[in-house]
Chains A and B, each alone.
Chain A
Amino acid sequence: MELSTTAWIVLAAALATYLTRIGGHVVLSRFKRIHPRVQAALDAVPAAVLTTLVAPAAVFSGPAEIATIIVAVVATFYLPAMAVFALGWAAILAFRALIG
Chain B
Amino acid sequence: MNARRDIIEGIRAATPGMLAATPFGLLFGALAVDNGFTVGEAVLMSATVFAGASQMVGIDLFGDRVAPWLIVLSIFAVNFRHVLYSAAMSRHMRGWSTLQRYLGFFVLIDPHYAETEKRAETGRPITFVWFITGGVAFYIMWVVEGWLGAVFGRLVENPAAYGVDFLLPIYFLGLVMGFRKRANWLPVVIASAAASIAAYALVGSPWHVSLGALAGIVVAAVIGAPAAPAEEG
B33 vs chain A, min Cβ distance (A): 12
Instruction: For A37, give its contact among B36, B105, B221 (CB under 8 Å).
Output: B221
The answer to whether B173 and A24 have CB atoms under 8 Å apart is no
The answer to whether A23 and B86 have CB atoms under 8 Å apart is yes
The answer to whether A22 and B68 have CB atoms under 8 Å apart is no
Q: How large is the interface on B (under 10, 10 to 19, 20 to 34, 35 or more residues)?
A: 35 or more
Instruction: For B221, give its contact among A14, A40, A85 (CB under 8 Å).
Output: A40
Query: Considering the chains assembled together, what is the distance between the CA atoms of A73 and B113 in angstroms?
Result: 21
Closest chain A residue to B76 by CB distance? A16
Closest chain A residue to B55 by CB distance? A13
The answer to whether A17 and B89 have CB atoms under 8 Å apart is no
* Given A9-B71, A40-B221, CB of A20 within 8 Å of CB of B82: yes
Query: Considering the chains assembled together, what is the distance between the CA atoms of A42 and B173 in angstroms?
Result: 19
Query: Considering the chains assembled together, what is the distance between the CA atoms of A61 and B197 in angstroms?
Result: 12
The answer to whether B87 and A39 have CB atoms under 8 Å apart is no
Of B124-132, B148-156, B211-219, the stretch lying at the interface with chain A is B211-219
Q: How large is the interface on A (under 10, 10 to 19, 20 to 34, 35 or more residues)?
A: 35 or more
Q: Is A98 an interface residue (CB 8 A)?
A: no
The answer to whether A84 and B174 have CB atoms under 8 Å apart is yes
The answer to whether B75 and A17 have CB atoms under 8 Å apart is yes
B174 vs chain A, min Cβ distance (A): 5
The answer to whether A9 and B68 have CB atoms under 8 Å apart is yes
B4 vs chain A, min Cβ distance (A): 24
Query: Considering the chains assembled together, what is the distance between the CA atoms of A37 and B205 in angstroms?
Result: 29
- Per-position 1/0 for B72-114, Cβ under 8 A of A: 1101100111111111111101000000011001101010011
Q: Is B170 an interface residue (CB 8 A)?
A: yes
A-B contact pairs, 27 of them (CB 8 A): A5-B68, A10-B41, A13-B48, A14-B48, A14-B50, A16-B79, A17-B82, A21-B79, A21-B105, A27-B87, A40-B221, A40-B223, A40-B224, A43-B220, A45-B85, A45-B88, A46-B113, A47-B182, A48-B216, A51-B189, A52-B208, A54-B169, A56-B212, A58-B169, A85-B171, A89-B170, A96-B160
Chain A residues with CB under 8 Å of chain B are 4-14, 16-29, 36-61, 65, 68-69, 72-73, 76, 81-82, 84-85, 88-89, 92-93, 96
Chain B residues with CB under 8 Å of chain A are 16, 19-20, 36-38, 41, 44-45, 48-51, 54, 58, 62, 68, 71-73, 75-76, 79-91, 93, 101-102, 105-106, 108, 110, 113-114, 117, 160, 162-163, 166-179, 182-185, 188-189, 191-197, 200-201, 205, 208-209, 212-226, 230
